[in-house]
Structure 1
Amino acid sequence: MFSGLRDDVRNAGRYLGQTMRLMVGLPDYETYVSHMRRTHPDRDVMSYEQFFQERQAARYSGSAGRCC
């Protein structure tokens, strides 16, 4: 009976965490990885450290950092 509720709470927590990270400008590595695997399967996925450095550079350099 409560397993569905537990899943709902877990999903809500996941979305809340993602929203909070986006509000303060922290990059979401899991979203990046799923995007790369789905949209650019021929490209290598950056490590978390590479991804974080690239996102910080894109955020503070004033240039757009989107791939598509």
Structure 2
Amino acid sequence: MTSAETLRDRWKTLTRCVCDGARLMVGQGNYDAYADHVRRTHPDREPMTPTEFFRERQNARYGVGGRGGFRCC
């Protein structure tokens, strides 16, 4: 492995961490991590689609359905 490849790998890892952190700050989890978790620990359940996952996380973030969440008013 050349130093350019090592630097590229480190850059990819850094940008992935920054993006994951930004998603978590606004209440959006990592869909791939969620889907892997469901497949590993709940083999009898089908994971939500990416759209369903996004909507569920958004609803949890903003308290839709009486779930608490962030409210500005």
Determine if the TM-score, normalized by the shorter chain, exceeds 0.5.
yes
Equivalent residue, structure 1, for 2:14? 12
Give 1:36 shift.
Answer: 1.0
Cα distance, 1:46 vs. partner?
0.8
TM-score by length of structure 1 reads: 0.75
Identity among equivalent pairs (%): 44
List aligned pairs for 1:24-63, cutoff 5 A: 24-59=26-61, 60-61=63-64, 63=67
The CA RMSD over aligned residues, in Å, is: 1.8
What is the number of residues matched between the two proteins?
A: 64
Larger fraction in helix: 1
The residue type paired with residue 27 of structure 1 is: G
Structure 2: gaps spanning 5 or more residues: 69-73
Higher Rg: 2
Q: CA deviation at 1:26?
A: 2.0
Name structure 1 gaps, 5 residues minimum. none
CA offset at residue 32 of structure 1?
A: 0.9
TM-score, normalising length from structure 2?
0.71
